[in-house]
Amino acid sequence: METKVNAQAKTYVDEGLRQYMLKVYNYMTGGLCLTALAAYLVANTSLIRLFFNITPQGASMSGLGWLFLFAPLIMVFAFGWVLQRGTLQQVQAMFWGFSAVMGISLTPILMAYTGASVTRVFLITAAMFGGMSLYGYTTKKDLSAMGSFLIMGVWGLIVASLINLFFQSPGLSYAVSVIGVLIFTGLTAYDTQAVRQIYYGSDNEDTIARKAIAGALNLYMDFINMFIYLLRLMGDRR
């Protein structure tokens, strides 16, 4: 009798975990679709004039364009505050707003490459992300030590990128892109495992939804960063 009860409890937890992870990936996929839509609308409609000053000599960022370029960084830090203190509707709005703003901020990068290469790199990123996320979900190995090392690597990438703004070294840029792909590939597995481990069947619906959105944001950022670094390595410039 006790064995049957334990089996039923395990089935309940497994089903709850499956629904939770499905919610995480649905949020993440929705965020990526919104990002792609926002970037497409800005690049292919008159909205582009809000963010770029178009002249016969070329295009440059407008004041609003610079604001949206750095807005995602501010919103990432604000997300934690909203997650802890805001309502679930506010957390959802923050996630969708962040996804849309990210699309606008990525427009200058995407416009520098051909549509065919952007599509190709996106599919490669999706395949790599899917494989590493599956590994992170199924592995019994504790990835927390690797995750801590990779997070330190992210800070190293930021420092190296800032330095290269002044030196404009093609070699350093290539190295940063290669290391960036490796770091965010590893973080995909680590974050997937972390997202799974914070699930508790005893959580209420509001808590589960908040955890799902927070997890989706982490995986979304892994995907976006992996995509950008791969695009720099493999994309064909216009």
pLDDT tens sequence across 212-233: 999 999 999 999 999 999 999 9
* Confidence at residue 166, expressed as pLDDT on a 0 to 100 scale: 82
> Residue 233, Cβ neighbours under 10 Å: how many?
14
Rounded mean pLDDT, 151-158:
88
Is the pLDDT assigned to residue 8 strictly greater than 70? no
Question: Across the chain, what does the average pLDDT equal?
Answer: 86
d(CA 196, CA 192): 6
User: Is it the case that residue 1 has pLDDT exceeding 60?
Assistant: no
Q: pLDDT (tens digit, 9 = 90+) per residue, 12-63?
A: 457 889 999 999 999 999 999 999 999 999 888 877 777 777 665 555 667 7
- Return the amino acid letter for 203: D
Share of the chain above pLDDT 70, in %: 91
pLDDT of residue 3: 53
Mean pLDDT within 84-93: 93
Q: What is the pLDDT of residue 6?
A: 46
Report pLDDT digits (tens) over 193-214: 999 999 987 788 999 999 999 9
Distance CA(187)–CA(164), nearest Å, equals 24
Q: How far apart are CA 201 and CA 167, in angstroms?
A: 52
Which tens digit of pLDDT belongs to each residue from 113-138? Answer: 888 999 999 999 999 999 999 999 99
What burial class does residue 46 get, using C-beta atoms within 10 Å of its C-beta: 0-12 exposed, 13-18 middle, 19+ buried? exposed
42: nearest Cα among 107, 96, 109, 116: 107
